[in-house]
């Protein structure tokens, strides 16, 4: 089995309510819940971290493609959000709205939407995911 990350993301929580310290290959990041949920809002909540991953991956993928094509699109921004509906099962929809700083023709827009859908986090979210949990001794 080949893991995607050389070093796993590690997390720990103490007695400070909902404050999680996440360790990644080069540093630390705090995750926390908003005030209204009992946290201190010291960092992004888990949903925000998930959406931030998609936003970051989408923007990086688009930048690589735009640079390779040598298109004049110096600025790209994105808004990512999600909503859930309880039907027979819980259904989650993630919305991704991309803004390009320059005027871009419809053919370029169409191609960039297709490229956005091919970013690795998009592909991960749109395909089957299995979650395996165990304890560390």
Prediction pTM value: 0.91
DSSP structural state of residue 136: -
Query: Cβ(24)–Cβ(9) under 8 Å?
Result: yes
Residue 5, C-beta contacts closer than 8 angstroms, at least 6 positions apart:
25
pLDDT band at residue 133 using 50, 70 and 90 as cut-offs: very high
pLDDT, one tens digit per residue, over 18-42 is 999 999 999 999 999 999 999 999 9
- How far apart, in whole angstroms, are the C-alpha atoms of residue 104 and residue 102? 6
Q: Using CA atoms, how far apart are residues 84 and 77, in angstroms rounded to an integer?
A: 24
Residue 19: closest CA among 37, 1, 2? 37
Would you say residue 1 has pLDDT above 80?
no
* pLDDT tens per residue across span 92-114: 999 999 999 878 999 999 999 99
pLDDT of residue 38: 95
């Amino acid at each position: 089995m080949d893991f995607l990350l050389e070093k796993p993301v590690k997390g720990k929580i103490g007695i400070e309510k909902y404050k999680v310290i996440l360790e990644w290959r080069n540093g630390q990041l705090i995750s926390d819940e908003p005030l209204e949920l009992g946290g201190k809002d010291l960092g992004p909540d888990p949903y925000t971290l998930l959406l931030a991953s998609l936003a970051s991956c989408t923007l990086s993928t688009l930048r690589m493609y735009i640079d390779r094509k040598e298109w004049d699109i110096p600025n790209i921004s994105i808004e990512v959000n999600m909503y859930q509906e309880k039907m027979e099962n819980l259904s989650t929809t993630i919305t991704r709205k991309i803004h390009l700083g320059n005027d871009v023709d419809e053919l370029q827009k169409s191609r960039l939407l297709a490229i956005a859908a091919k970013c690795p986090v998009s592909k991960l979210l749109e395909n089957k995911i299995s979650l395996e949990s165990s304890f560390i001794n």
